[in-house]
Amino acid sequence: MADAVGIGLLGCGIVGAEVAQTLAAHEKEITQRVGARLEIRKVAVRNLGKDRNVVLPDSVFTDNATDVVSDPDIQVIIEVMGGIEPARTLILEAFAAGKHVISANKELIGTLGKELFDAADRAEVEFSFEAAVAGGVPIVRPLKESLAGESVERIVGILNGTTNYILTKMSEEEMEFGEALAEAQNLGYSELDPTADIEGFDAAAKLSILASIAFNANVVAGDVYREGITKVTLADIAFAENLGYAVKLLAIAEKVDGEIAMRVHPAMIPATHPLASVRDNLNAIFVEGDKVGEVMFYGRGAGGGPTAISVIGDVIDVARHIVGGGTGVRHASTGTAKVRPMNKTRSQYYVLLRIADRPGVLAQVSQAFTDNDVSIRSVLQEGFGDEASLIMVTHTALEQNFQALLTALRHLDIVEDVVSSMRVQSAED
Amino acid sequence: MADAVGIGLLGCGIVGAEVAQTLAAHEKEITQRVGARLEIRKVAVRNLGKDRNVVLPDSVFTDNATDVVSDPDIQVIIEVMGGIEPARTLILEAFAAGKHVISANKELIGTLGKELFDAADRAEVEFSFEAAVAGGVPIVRPLKESLAGESVERIVGILNGTTNYILTKMSEEEMEFGEALAEAQNLGYSELDPTADIEGFDAAAKLSILASIAFNANVVAGDVYREGITKVTLADIAFAENLGYAVKLLAIAEKVDGEIAMRVHPAMIPATHPLASVRDNLNAIFVEGDKVGEVMFYGRGAGGGPTAISVIGDVIDVARHIVGGGTGVRHASTGTAKVRPMNKTRSQYYVLLRIADRPGVLAQVSQAFTDNDVSIRSVLQEGFGDEASLIMVTHTALEQNFQALLTALRHLDIVEDVVSSMRVQSAED
């Protein structure tokens, strides 16, 4: 038995530095748990001159990442550099050299997961990525291990902290979207270019990783239907609250007729639903299973400390296998289930119409719903004259029927404007 | 490598039957995951005549439990019989015979955990008990593995479904305690004798198990300070809601100055706190860590299906070790931290006084607070004349000071009655 396990770090930004600091701070407990010391032996950084504020000797730093993944004294690589390349090539080289890899890289795994899972399998090494989904929230391991006997039916998550922060500010302080975004950026929650957050790309990558685990499915971020939050207005949020809902950017993956449906979009969710009370930049993942019912995991989805804790949980696990034998649960991705197209998914919907306030309007609007096989659950008329609005919530309907309905409504003379519409995630059906 | 792992079941009630059914229903996936079939080879039941409605041949059933734990063809024992004896003796016999044990028995582990952990250690076998805390909610494994690099500071949980159901009904439907309890019993949430639920014994057992894991502490259910919910009134709940709080039976464990403080009692929690929105008979565990911040786990704390899923997660884990090598994280319980006495814990408090409505009352009451080193955070006077009330919330104070304050208030002439008081769990300090 080795008395130490050699660790190589790819990247030493906020997360990397936290990993190094936490390993040092909890050295005694971790050594006891693993049965050997964990030793960071090499750290690849882009700029050797930068002060890292970590407790590692200068000699471990290198600007040659290939040296790290080929070092025979290193058994475990921690990839916290982010981005597709060179992370992908370095991880594949590490696998080929027989090293286990821990990664926090949602973009890479959400895009090229299958290539990495298969390469790890062929090399008979472990590839763990708890930190890639929802930062400090334990979700990958619980899905793989604690719920191993479960048939997961649906995952509904708030997977992006920046957008949840923005929606919280819009809801609680009636702050406009742009102002809330600027505040999120000031707090360091969002990048200078916020596109990945506000357009749902970040949530889509994480959702595809969760779906691939929960459903043993071979899916990628690009398979996820995606709408961001830029069109959500303060009026939508106010109407939602009046109807008893909160507006959240939801990431939903579900098994429907043997297919995998995945989507990221703003949605109304009942105020009593546990996800409705997830505030600020927190993340949460709601899992619905056949036997277990509802399980939710909640916590900080980003930040150095939380992400480092997830990385270290994976490192301890892999190191225990190196020292004491055994392996982690492999990620199979052998599934052949097809991705269900968005227009075949089902949801409830909210729609806000500006209408001409005259006799027979409701009858004409209702007829359009009926013609498109969308059933009305509740309707509320507000105002009168030029300011009249209809606020409608539907029963569960097929997406393509609802989209056809929107087109039909736009063509009705008595409908002046389809002001907004949003999906409603509810317990109905 | 064996082509099958032999399982022995102690007990075949609701949970046992669900375990058997689920293992059969997911046989293919579980076999793939483990690398061998899981085979239930013996099932100990009290009454051989009873129809079990499970897919097992009659020949596996026996009313001699010792036969199960001594069977050389059985490697893993699942104990779902409950109670202290004979479960304790059978588990110790199983350990001595070299068998791994999965248990859902919170009463036993909360009371005699250390004896079992130590015995499993000596026998070099695994002892897993995810199902013993919060049924289907994955919490034991995440604490042991995902948060292995974390220094947990506090756990705040809703660990008893029956009392949470009662408090939900009292809050949302203004149902009286007795009526809500009767409804919980009708729904099968509570036993005929509800003492263990409503007096907090059940939550205390689970809390001691969580604390022993999170803090590596050698603590038992009897170390937990405990107050039930029988004294909570509809008026308390209404006042709490006016002040922006929800009333919950909280189970709290925290590290304070190197000691472990544990308590179960009704408490007011801010309505915006994620635990406040845990409704009906659901459970949730809120974990606060040094690095990870806040993490919450939520789900069904009882019931055959959820509990069976936790049992099966543990069985798959142990079976993978039998087939592929390695071991689970051992439960050390080597900790020597002392239990902090209740009077040394700190909390905020709510107190409702009926007072004589005359000049100088508030000054006298305030002086009593000051004399006892309890600082007032907010005060609200309601009514007048004989019906005058003072509703006060304190800043964080020492329990013994608050108790001394209550005594002092009762001795004040101008205080007609200390109508009620409750701890307030908040983010202050």
Q: CB A138 to CB B148 under 8 A?
A: no
**3-class SS letters over B45-98:** CCCCCCCCCCCCCHHHEECCHHHHHCCCCCCEEEECCCCCCCHHHHHHHHHHCC
For residue range A113-122, what is the model confidence (pLDDT) as tens digits?
999 999 999 9
Q: Which residue has the tokens 């893993």?
A: B76
Round to whole Å and give the CA distance between A271 and B291.
30
What's residue A428's pLDDT?
Answer: 58
How far B249 CA lies from chain A's nearest CA (Å)? 18
The residue from B99, B106, B206, B248 that is catalytic is B206
Q: Assess whether B282 and B356 both reside in one domain.
A: no
Stated pTM of the model:
0.92
| Closest by Cβ to A299, choosing from B130, B149, B295 | B295
Question: Does B331 score more than 80 pLDDT?
Answer: no
Q: CB B313 to CB A149 under 8 A?
A: yes
Within a domain: A330: no
Mean of pLDDT values over A373-399: 91
- Share above pLDDT 90 across residues of chain A, in percent, rounded to a whole number: 83
B244 in A contact zone (CB under 8 Å): no
Round to whole Å and give the CA distance between A104 and A86.
14
Q: CB B306 to CB A321 under 8 A?
A: no
Within a domain: A75: yes
Q: Assess whether B282 and B407 both reside in one domain.
A: no
Q: How confident is the model at residue B199 (pLDDT cuts 50, 70, 90)?
A: very high
| Closest by Cβ to A30, choosing from B145, B149, B315 | B149
What's residue B333's pLDDT?
Answer: 64
Q: How confident is the model at residue B384 (pLDDT cuts 50, 70, 90)?
A: confident
Contacts B33 to A, Cβ<8 Å: 148, 329
Within a domain: B39: yes
Q: CB B293 to CB A274 under 8 A?
A: no
Using the 8-state DSSP alphabet, how is residue A132 labeled?
A: G
Which of B275, B290, B324 represents a domain boundary (last residue)?
B324
Active site residues of A: 206
What's residue A188's pLDDT?
Answer: 87
Exposure string for A280-297, b = 16+ CB within 10 A, e = fewer: ebbbbbbbbbebbbbbbb
**Is B255 marked active-site?**
no
Within a domain: A338: no
Q: Assess whether B263 and B310 both reside in one domain.
A: no
For residue range A47-61, what is the model confidence (pLDDT) as tens digits?
888 877 788 999 999
How far A62 CA lies from chain B's nearest CA (Å)? 26
Q: Assess whether B43 and B130 both reside in one domain.
A: yes
Q: Assess whether B157 and B122 both reside in one domain.
A: no
Q: Assess whether A394 and A265 both reside in one domain.
A: no
Q: CB B309 to CB A130 under 8 A?
A: no
Backbone angles phi, psi at A51, to 5 degrees: -75, 125
- A399-411 helix and A361-371 helix, angle to the nearest 10 degrees: 140
Which of B266, B289, B324 represents a domain boundary (last residue)?
B324
List, as one string, the DSSP characters of B380-396. EEE--GGG-EEEEEE-S
| Paired strand residues for B285 | B157, B297
Tell me which amino acid residue A396 is. Answer: T
What's residue A324's pLDDT?
Answer: 87
Of all residues in chain A, the one with the smallest CA distance to B135 is A292
How far A423 CA lies from chain B's nearest CA (Å)? 23
Q: Assess whether A259 and A309 both reside in one domain.
A: no
Q: Assess whether B107 and B156 both reside in one domain.
A: no
Q: CB B148 to CB A282 under 8 A?
A: no
| Closest by Cβ to A296, choosing from B299, B312, B327 | B299
Round to whole Å and give the CA distance between A97 and B281.
51
Q: How confident is the model at residue B121 (pLDDT cuts 50, 70, 90)?
A: very high
B293 in A contact zone (CB under 8 Å): yes
ipTM over 0.85: yes
For residue range B170-187, what is the model confidence (pLDDT) as tens digits?
999 999 999 999 999 999
* Count: domains in chain A: 3
| Closest by Cβ to B309, choosing from A282, A292, A313 | A292
Within a domain: B290: yes
Q: Assess whether B355 and B228 both reside in one domain.
A: no
Mean pLDDT of all residues in chain B?
Answer: 93
Contacts B23 to A, Cβ<8 Å: 149
For residue range B268-297, what is the model confidence (pLDDT) as tens digits?
999 989 999 999 999 999 999 999 999 999
Q: Which tokens is A122 given?
A: 């062929």
A274 in B contact zone (CB under 8 Å): yes
CATH number, position A253: 3.30.360.10
Tell me which amino acid residue A140 is. Answer: V
Round to whole Å and give the CA distance between B132 and B110.
9
Mean of pLDDT values over A330-346: 85
Q: How confident is the model at residue B316 (pLDDT cuts 50, 70, 90)?
A: very high
Q: CB A23 to CB B149 under 8 A?
A: yes
Q: CB A310 to CB B148 under 8 A?
A: no
Q: CB A277 to CB B279 under 8 A?
A: no
Mean of pLDDT values over B30-44: 94
Mean of pLDDT values over B48-56: 84
Residue with more model confidence, A250 or B327: A250
Mean of pLDDT values over B222-227: 96
User: How do strand B282-289 and strand B293-300 relate by DSSP bridges?
Assistant: antiparallel
Which of B324, B359, B379 represents a domain boundary (last residue)?
B324
Q: Where are the alpha helices (DSSP H) in A243-303?
A: none
Within a domain: B27: yes
Backbone angles phi, psi at A79, to 5 degrees: -100, 110
For residue range B131-163, what is the model confidence (pLDDT) as tens digits?
999 999 999 999 988 888 889 999 999 999 999
Q: How far is CA B30 from the centre of its chain?
A: 29
A272-275's contacts with Cβ under 8 Å and 24+ in sequence apart are: A272/A244, A272/B277, A272/B279, A273/A246, A273/A425, A274/A298, A274/B274, A274/B277, A274/B278, A274/B298, A275/A156, A275/A158, A275/A248, A275/A250
Mean of pLDDT values over B217-246: 94
Within a domain: B24: yes
Contacts A325 to B, Cβ<8 Å: 324-327
Q: Where are the alpha helices (DSSP H) in A130-261?
A: 140-141, 161-173, 177-186, 195-198, 201-214, 234-242
Round to whole Å and give the CA distance between A58 and A345.
55
A277 in B contact zone (CB under 8 Å): yes
Q: CB B149 to CB A22 under 8 A?
A: yes
Range of the domain at B380: 342-424
**Among B231-240, B262-271, B324-333, the least confident range:** B324-333
A318 in B contact zone (CB under 8 Å): no
B26 in A contact zone (CB under 8 Å): yes
Q: Which residue has the tokens 């008081």?
A: B421
Question: Does A330 score more than 80 pLDDT?
Answer: no
Cα separations in angstroms, B337 against B161, B225, B255:
30, 17, 9
Q: Assess whether A257 and A167 both reside in one domain.
A: yes
For residue range B54-80, what is the model confidence (pLDDT) as tens digits?
889 999 999 999 999 999 999 999 999
Q: How confident is the model at residue B428 (pLDDT cuts 50, 70, 90)?
A: low
Contacts A141 to B, Cβ<8 Å: 141-142, 145-146
| Closest by Cβ to B148, choosing from A290, A312, A321 | A312
Round to whole Å and give the CA distance between B64 and B52.
17
What's residue A360's pLDDT?
Answer: 86
Within a domain: A244: yes
Question: Does B85 score more than 80 pLDDT?
Answer: yes
Of all residues in chain A, the one with the smallest CA distance to B129 is A146
Question: Does A429 score more than 60 pLDDT?
Answer: no
Cβ-Cβ contacts under 8 Å between A and B: the total is 188
CATH number, position A59: 3.40.50.720
Question: Does B427 score more than 80 pLDDT?
Answer: no
CATH number, position B374: 3.30.70.260
B121 in A contact zone (CB under 8 Å): no
Q: Assess whether B148 and B128 both reside in one domain.
A: no
Q: CB A297 to CB B293 under 8 A?
A: no
Best mutation target, B29, B140, B145, to test chain A (most A CBs within 10 A): B145
What's residue A85's pLDDT?
Answer: 95
Q: Assess whether B166 and B107 both reside in one domain.
A: no
For residue range A170-222, what is the model confidence (pLDDT) as tens digits?
999 999 999 999 999 999 888 788 999 999 999 999 999 999 999 989 999 99
